[in-house]
Structure formats: C-alpha cells, structure tokens
Amino acid sequence: MLKDITLGQYFPGKTVVHRLDPRTKLLLLIVYIVALFLAKSWYSYALVLAFLTGVTLLGKIPFKAMTKGLKPMLIFIIFTALLNLFYTKGGTLLVDWWIFEIWSDGVRTAFFMVLRIMMLICGTFLLTYTTSPIALTDALERLLSPLKKIHVPVHELAMMMSIALRFIPTLIEETDKIISAQKARGADFETGSIIRRAKALIPILVPLFVSAFRRADELATAMECRCYHGGDGRTRLKVLRYAGIDLLAFLVGAALLAGVIVLRRFGL
Amino acid sequence: MSNLIKAEDLSFTYPASGERLALPVFEDLNLEIDEGSFTAVIGPNGCGKSTLAKHFNAVLLPTGGKVWVAGLDTADEEKLLEIRREIGMVFQNPDNQIVANVVEEDVAFAPENLGVPSPEIRQRVDEALKIVGMYEYREHAPHLLSGGQKQRIAIAGVLAMRPRCIVLDEPTAMLDPRGREEVISTITRLNREQGITVILITHHMREAVGADRVIVMHKGGILTDGTPREVFSQVELLRRAGLDVPQTTDLLFSLRNAGWDLPLDALTPEECAEAIAAAMKSNN
C-alpha cells in the first residue's frame, strides 16, 4: 500500500528533454517560473502554456501523468479559486446574492490564478519526470558550488539528499513490514478518533526510527571502508557537460522570457 | 608466499560507556594472512570475529599490539586511505552498504572517493560489474534486486578500488540459499581467477569447507587453525566450542562412534560416500 507513494517519480527515457544537462533544466525551470509570474494577459499565458505543452510533447510525458500530479493539489487550487472569486472587486457586478458578490475581475483573477498554479505544478513535475534524482542532486551540487567559498557545506548537503533518496524505498518497505508485524499482534490503525489513530502510530514510528539509526551507523562504516572522506579531491563517474542542445534550450528559455516581458511592456 | 596482514600481540577492549563496563575482546592475538589465500573465520556469536575483521582495515584500532597491512601500520592515520584501498570490506546487510540509487553509481562510489579520473572510473566500474556478473543490471535501482544480487553489487563496489584483499563479514547471513550460492561462488572465483586474498567470516560450515584455511575463534582467542580437513576432523573440540561441523563430518563421526572404521577428513559428499562405500566393502 505504501509502495504507491511516488516521490519525485522519474520516467526514464531518451528524448531531447531527458538528455538535457540537469543544470540546464533546473535553470530553465527558474526562467519558466519567472515568466509565469510576469505573465499578465491571455497572450503571455498562451506563450508560456505553448512552452509547457511543447516541452511535455518533446519529453513524451503522458498527459495522464500530468493530471495525476495535479490531483493532490486539487483542494488547494479550489480554495485559491474561491478566495479570488469572492474577494476581488472591480469591473461589472455579475452576481449579487445574499452576502456573495461576484465581479467580472474576480472571475478573471480566479481563472488566471488557477491557471498559474496548475502550470507551476506541471512545470515542476516536468523536471522530476524527466530527470533522475541523482542527476538533480548532482546539478544542485554543481550549481551551488560557488557557495563553498563562503563555507556552505554544499557537497555534504547534496550527499545527504542523495542518501535520503536512496533510502526512501528501503524505509517504506520496512514501514510496511512493521505495520504488518504490529497488525499481526492485534494493533488497530483504522478505527477510533484521530487522536487514537495518531497514538496507534507510535508503535510503528519507534521501531522505524531505531532501525533507521542503526542503518545510518552501518552505512557510515561502509562508506568509510570505501574511502569516503568528504568532498575534497572527489571525482565523478559522470561529469556534467553542457552540449549544443543545452545552448539551444537556453536560447528558447531566453526567448520565452523576452516574449513575456515584451508583451507586458505593451500592456498585453 | 608473503603475508599481507599480520596481527602482532593484538589486544582490543571496547571502551566503557555509560553504565556498560569496558569489554575486553582479545588479548595478545597473533595471526598472519598470506597474500592470495582464502581464509574462513568461524566461531560462535560474540567470539570476536567481526571485531577482528574491523581491525584489518583500520575501522577499529588495536588498544594493544599492532596490525600490519602490506607493511603499513593501521594506527598510522596518514596511511588510512591506502590501507582501506588495499583491504575491501563487505558487510552482512546489503541494504545498509549501498549508497547510490543506480547500480553503476554505487560501484563508482569508492573510485570517486579516491579521486580516480572519470574515464578510468567508467572502466573500473564496467570491469567490476562484469567480474561479479551484474553488468546487465548496471542501470537498475538496487532496491529492486534480490539479496544475492545486492550483495554482488556490494562486492563489485569494493572491487572497483582494486584491492588486494576482500574481507567479508557474514555476507550470506541474510540471504536465501540461492543468494548464498551466488555470493560464495563469486568470491571463490575472485580468489582463484583474480588472485585476490579473501577472508570470509561465516556461520555456515559448508562455506568454510571451500577455503584453503579455516580459523576457529572462541572467546576472543584462536581455538584451532589449519586446512578444512584438519580443522573439521576435530569434531569434539568444535562441539565443545558450540560449533557445528559439516553434515558429512557429522555422519562420519556418528558412524565411527558406532564402531565403523572411517576417516573424518572426507568433506565433500562424494568423498564421504566413497569412504563409506570402501568401509562397507572391507567389512564384508
């Protein structure tokens, strides 16, 4: 049951989007988010949406995967839409019933807000769908490496992140086992009030934490035995290198940003 | 043959912590491991086998005496990486020694730490994966593999350092019989074909039978040391130490007690069958 959790799920593939340097993708995501927040009109939204659709098609990401990713955010999206719908005043009054007033500007803001959130989520998913977690941590380490000069432990943070990612499936499996073991001894996780159910989690969490610490200890010894001594003098199996397609991608990103800014200038 | 590892009057005591008293493990232990040999270390739980293994690559340092690895003193901190590169170590639980979530990235971990240039890392990774027969799985996620496969990945991860010796601390304890077979045949091959010195710490007598030399540990000391035939024929001594003997030896020992004239050093099932057949013939 817990195995269905998808964290940073990655769809392996060999498309152009997959082959881009992860640093390029990370930077492009930032450009995309900036463009999305600068967009104000139908035209600029259409431009950003065209970019999103283009990348999705190029990366051969099934449309279903995108909508599935949106599902957990549904409540948040609806809430934002309602808030904007009822609290924005301006334009013509469309509905006036009891204490509710809906103005035309409210409809517009709510619509754009929902569109923006959905596009933001989709864009982020696109990154995790087409980039393996290892490549992502690698990219983060490389992009943030200038911070090492001011003693930010960039390598250590990246190492922690990749180990955390590595142990997620292992710990999920372990949680499943502990749940089964506790159920076999008559533990009840499904009935009772929320407080009772939260309390029922304690016999799962305690052994899980104990075993996680034990694992961490063993892993540290195993890493030492394989000559790990921090990030100094470390080389990599796969060295990130920008290629021609990365330049092209940056140009497309720049064009997107420029387009949105120009449209904004003209008040469109 | 020259010795690769040498323990001289080795003593070790786990320091006292909190309410726990200091726990002495060995006192004045002397041991030499020859380069290119296949040594099995057996003994009951708590006899100090794992503690001894951790001294071979300076994870633990002796509280008395010295451990020499390829002529280097393990207490010399300057030589730490050099020692750990020579002596690879594989642990019991494969899940807790795999660092990355792609097989080849994990195998590359040690050479990356050693600062090996990228093209050579690629070469070493491919070579190590081919030796353990996991090359086709290089792009898989380790948590989807079987226990035996994961343990072979762990061995490949150590091989990528190009060590002279591999110490395996109960590598098969968490595996099913098939996984156990995979791992044992892999390490036997490493010793025979690659000439790598192997030290196998194990609970399974059958695994020790394939070694060149068997060391039996008991209460922090060496109870007996010799070829598998020499060691396993001392059935009474082993039993007193709380250890099993291989099933073949067990059978021969029972038959001997029943008055049959049989040797105790027939270790493989075939040898055992032949010995019994010969005894029956001469009896008729």
3 state SS for B91-131: CCCHHHCCCCCCHHHHHCHHHHHCCCCHHHHHHHHHHHHHH
Query: Rounded distance, CA B214 to CA B40, Å?
Result: 5
Distance of alpha carbon B245 from alpha carbon B142, whole angstroms: 35
Structure tokens at A45: 């939204």
Q: Any chain B CB within 8 A of the CB of A50?
A: no
Chain A CB contacts of B69 below 8 Å: none
Task: Please give the share of chain A, as a percent, with pLDDT higher than 70.
Answer: 97
The structure's pTM equals: 0.82
A127 burial (CB, 10 Å; 0-12 / 13-18 / 19+) is buried
What is the Rg, in whole angstroms, of the alpha carbon atoms belonging to chain A?
24
Looking at this predicted complex, what is its ipTM?
0.87
pLDDT tier, B21 (very low <50, low <70, confident <90, very high otherwise): confident
CA distances from A133 to A162, B101, B143 (A): 7, 9, 15
- Return all residues near A111 (Cβ < 8 A) that are at least 6 apart: none
* Mean pLDDT value of segment A138-143: 90
Between CA B200 and CA B172 the distance in angstroms is 10
The CA distance from A157 to A79, in Å, is 35
pLDDT in tens, B76-89: 888 899 999 999 99
What distance in Å separates the CA atoms of residue B37 and residue B49, rounded to the nearest whole number?
18
Q: What is the pLDDT of residues B24-33, one digit of tens each?
A: 888 888 999 9
Q: Tell me if A200 sits within 8 A of A212, measured CB to CB.
A: no
Residue B165 CA to residue B199 CA, distance in Å, equals 8
Residue range B53-74: average pLDDT?
91
User: Token match 């994990």: residue?
Assistant: B106
Give chain B's radius of gyration (CA, Å): 20
Strand partners, B88: B166
**B267/A contact by beta carbon, under 8 A:** no
Q: Give me the architecture of the B3-228 domain, per CATH.
A: 3-Layer(aba) Sandwich (3.40)
Tokens of A48: 């950003």
**Residue B230: strand, helix, or coil:** helix
Chains A and B form CB pairs within 8 A to the count of 94
Which residues partner with B34 through β-bridges? B3
CA distance A180 to A186: 10
Taking the C-alpha atoms of residue B284 and residue A202, their distance in angstroms, rounded to an integer, is 70
Instruction: Give me B123's structure tokens.
Output: 């070469």
- Phi, psi (degrees; rounded to nearest 5) at A179: -60, -45
CB–CB contact A234 B125 (8 Å):
no
In tens, the pLDDT along B149-195 reads 999 999 999 999 999 999 999 999 888 989 999 999 999 999 999 99
Q: Note the pLDDT of residue A268.
A: 65
Which tens digit of pLDDT belongs to each residue from B196-231? 999 999 988 888 888 999 999 988 889 999 998 888
Q: Within 13 A of A228's CA, how many CA atoms are on the CB side?
A: 19
Of B62, B57, B58, the closest CA to residue B87 belongs to B57
Residue B34 forms contact with A (CB below 8 Å): no
Optimal mutation site among B97, B103, B159, interface A, most CBs of chain A within 10 A: B97
Whether residue B95 and residue A215 make contact (CB cut-off 8 A), yes or no, is yes
The number of beta carbons lying within 10 Å of the beta carbon of residue B283 is 8
Tell me the residue length of chain A.
268
CA pair distance B210, A154, nearest whole angstrom? 47
Task: Let me know: does B110 contact B158? Beta carbons within 8 Å.
Answer: yes
